[in-house]
A = this chain, B = another copy of it.
Amino acid sequence: MLISKLGEFGLITRLKRRIKLDSSVVKGIGDDCAVLRFTKDKYQLFTCDMLVEGIDFKTKTDPYLIGRKALAVSMSDIAACGGIPKHYLVALGIPKSTSVKFIDRFFSGMKNLARKNNINFVGGDISKSGVLTIDLSMLGEVEKKNLVLRSNANPDDIIFVTGSIGGSIHGKHLKFCPRIKEARLLVKNFKINSMIDISDGLTQDLSHILKTSKKGAIIYEELIPLSSQAGSLKEALNSGEDFELLFTMAPKEAKRLISKKMEIFSPIGKIVDGKYGMILVNKKGGVRKEEIKGFRHF
């Protein structure tokens, strides 16, 4: 069997089998970050993201934006766990024909975003490679009481997203602001039950919350804050790289959040019993069932 048939999530499920972890691991494979014991009051977050030329960016993409994106994607993972990014390493596979100017711009984009967020660039590795390949690994921290995972959504929780959804391919995927500030505002002032960042598309990432929490969801399509760049609602639901946060909280907490009238947080639906699956309700009250996805093609 080819790996393309198993799919990314099939492979991840396969990898989780027969892994023995010691008690220093709070959460291993299967969330936005690994969660590790750290200090008395804090956990450490550990994540990595690989970007490959031709897949995650084009050969002609401004290297400043590639470097920026490489850092931002991992920051988004840390945000999804409610944490603060602290340190990063960069492993770089570089074609021989790369210019020093290109690499300088790449690191400018990365280092500028890091500096603004007080993240330490502490090391890395450099290899020859056919196409530019970047793997950024990042450490972060989160107060134990503020850690949010994908797995604790409860029935009646209200589902929110930050910002707007869809059309990221037209530019936002290279320029998005990882939602660190918003995540910190949330975890410090509200009880967030589950959270994920939208990297694979809203329905796909909501599926991850529903699967790990063993719940269902009702989404009201007209509540989804569509980006002006989004081609259609369908595209917005399924296209990836929004890097917005998707989170759930109890109705009472949700009411409190909504009362703050912060435009950046939009309620889009609610969590229900697992037996309902994922239900999308359109403007006219029409209902359709969305598959809870556990597959992504290579």
Taking beta carbons and an 8 Å cutoff, which residues of A are in contact with B?
Answer: 1-6, 8, 11-12, 14-15, 18-22, 24-25, 28-31, 33-34, 36, 39, 46-52, 54-56, 86-87, 89, 91-94, 96-104, 107, 111, 115, 118, 120-131, 133, 135, 137, 139, 298
Contacts and interface: CB of A to CB of B under 8 A. Distances in A.
Contact of A1 (B6, B87, B100, B107): B100
B52 A127 contact: yes
Contacts of A6: 100
Contact of A96 (B4, B87, B89, B92): B4
B123 A50 contact: no
A20 B115 contact: yes
A107 B12 CA distance: 11
Contacts of A121: 15, 19, 21, 28-29
A111 B18 contact: yes
Q: Which of A3, A14, A36, A118 has the most B CB atoms < 10 Å from its CB?
A: A3
Oligomer copy total: 2
A98 B2 contact: yes
A295 to B, nearest CB: 13
A89 B48 contact: yes
A124 B11 CA distance: 12
Contact of A128 (B55, B87, B104, B139): B55
A96 B54 CA distance: 14
Contacts of A298: 94, 96, 128
B48 A120 contact: no
4 shortest interchain CB distances as A-B pairs: A34-B122, A135-B135, A137-B137, A50-B91
A127 B134 CA distance: 11
A111 to B, nearest CB: 7
Contacts of A11: 100, 103, 126
A37 to B, nearest CB: 10
Given A21-B121, A48-B137, A129-B131, 5 more contacts: A2-B98, A11-B100, A34-B89, A50-B126, A50-B133
